[in-house]
Structure 1
Amino acid sequence: MASTSSVDWNALDIEARQVDPTTLRRREKNAHYMAPAMFKRLVENVKIDGRLTTTVLVCENKDGSLEILSGHHRTAAAIQAGLPLVDALVITTPLSEKRKVAIQLSHNSINGEDDQSLLAQLYASLDIDAKKFSGLDDSVLSGDKGPGATALGGANIKYDELLFSFLPEDRVRFEVELEALAKRAKRFRIHAAPQ
């Protein structure tokens, strides 16, 4: 059966180069996003490492410019961290726009999943600085991924997190009071604590 695809699926010619990250062209559209706190963590990790530890994938266009297909955030982090050069894999095979998009999307979407039990074991073995560097938090210990960016609509939401600690008998009294408040105001979600 003949392919009806308009994309050229020939093997790619690729070479490794060190390039100035400020010269790399960003794709006009990139569906992959990163929350500001995660990007800040990425920048800090790049500063600590003194380099990118994964390569950026770019393609060489007819005009000689290099266009990012995978690694937009890593490139931006490298620039912000002040790296003069980054390692890049350069696709030298001429690419159609559809092939560029297909590669971009595949790099953003085809990835593995974590074994939650093993992830928790690995994370628990780290000291506090290594845990910070990992970009994870203690929710991995319970297997709770917490609300991801998708659940929050990818929005840049500012929030405050409160943690209450009670003695067992005080917790029961607090829960009774909270239930009483909830019954009085069924339309609203109320969280209260004595001052």
Structure 2
Amino acid sequence: MDNENRWKYDQVAISLIDEAEMNANEMTGEDFAALCDNIGKSGLSSVPCCYKKQDGRFVMISGHHRLRACKKLRYSKIGILYCDEDELTKDEIIAIQLSHNSLHGEDNRNILKKLFEQIQTIEFKKFAHINIDEITPVDTNGIDISVMKETFTFSIILYPNSFDALDSLFGDIREQAKKSDIVLIADHEPNEEMLLKLQKEIGDQFNIKTPAICFSKLLDLAKERLTEIQKDNDLGNSES
């Protein structure tokens, strides 16, 4: 069977579309309200996927929230992609649903920021439904953290000072090394409590909510202090 040509597009009455019995994908009330607002402004720009039963009714594979939004907006018809039921196995139907929910990729924040900045109107900035805190520079009480052109990921592993934990430690190191450019390892007993305390104090002092930004500020302060120590050492050496 030609997999490419079995999918068909049509405008169908929304009353003929049923939701699947189970759908693992969930959406918050806030996100659903934003979805309704987006469809209300621009229409249904991405179509749901269904299969058509022999009785002429359609069953949703993916796009349940878009279907609900269109019902709330009182659409009478929507465009869908569909296959006839006998062209799909049950395994394939479930697999398609799960893959559509999970295979959405990740945003490149640098490109995301540049695209978002090109939107001129407040209305469509809101329409884009982007968390601004995640892509814009942070400027709070002297903090200025901007998105760099090149980014890297690092992880911190706080390990227990015990030979019994070595196997687990090596496993954690290997796992983090697959996902991170830099892995920092430190004995958790003298460091964990101090790190959490410093992050809390920095968050309170500079009104920072995100732990990652707190840690970035911690590194910034440490760098400033090391620079001060170096200057003091250089001054002491010159006077002597």
TM-score category (smaller protein):
0.5 to 0.7
Identity of aligned residues (%): 27
- Aligned match of 1:106: 99
Find the counterpart in structure 2 of residue 130 from structure 1. 124
Q: CA deviation at 1:17?
A: 0.6
Question: Structure 2: how far apart are the matches of 1:43 and 1:75?
Answer: 10
| Aligned counterpart for 2:48 among listed residues 46, 52, 56 | 56
Q: Are 2:2 and 1:15 equivalent residues in the alignment?
A: no
Give the Cα separation in 1 of the matches to 2:131 and 2:104.
Answer: 21
Aligned CA distance change for structure 1 residues 104 and 89 (closer, same or farther; 3 Å)? same
Aligned-partner Cα distance in 1 for 2:137–2:52: 42
Residue 82 of structure 1 aligns with an amino acid whose one-letter code is: R
- 1:40-189 counterparts in 2 under 5 A? 40-49=33-42, 51-92=43-84, 94=86, 95-126=88-119, 127-142=121-136, 175=205
* Cα contact 2:50–2:58 (8 A) shared by 1: yes
Q: Which runs of 5+ in 1 are unaligned?
A: 1-8, 145-171, 176-195
CA distances 1:104-156 after superposition (whole Å, capped 9, x unpaired): 11111112221110101111222311111011131132489xxxxxxxxxxxx
Whole-angstrom CA distance in 2 between matches of 1:44 and 1:98: 34
Q: Which has the larger radius of gyration?
A: 2
Shift of 1:53: 0.6
The aligned amino acid for 2:94 is: V
Work out whether residues 46 and 52 of structure 1, in 8 Å CA contact, stay in contact via their aligned partners in 2.
yes
CA distance in 1: counterparts of 2:104 and 2:13, whole angstroms? 27
Mapped partners of 2:57, 2:51: distance in 1:
8
Deviation at 1:31, TM superposition (A): 0.5
1:93 Cα deviation (Å)? 5.1
Higher relative contact order (CA 8 A, sep 6+): 1
Q: How far apart, in 1, do the equivalents of 2:52 and 2:16 lie?
A: 12
Greater per-residue strand proportion:
2
Structure 1 residues 132, 76: closer, same or farther in 2, change over 3 A?
A: same
Q: With structure 1 as the length reference, what TM-score do the two structures score?
A: 0.64
**For residues 22 and 135 of structure 1, do their structure 2 counterparts lie closer, same or farther at Cα, with a shift above 3 Å needed?**
farther
Question: Quick one: which amino acid aligns to residue 52 of structure 2?
Answer: E
Q: Deviations over 1:68-90 (max 9, x none)?
A: 00110111111111211111111
In 1, distance between residues paired with 2:132 and 2:80? 33
Unaligned 5+ segments in structure 2 are: 139-201, 206-240
Structure 1 pair 131/110, CA: closer, same or farther in 2 (3 Å)?
same
Aligned length: 138
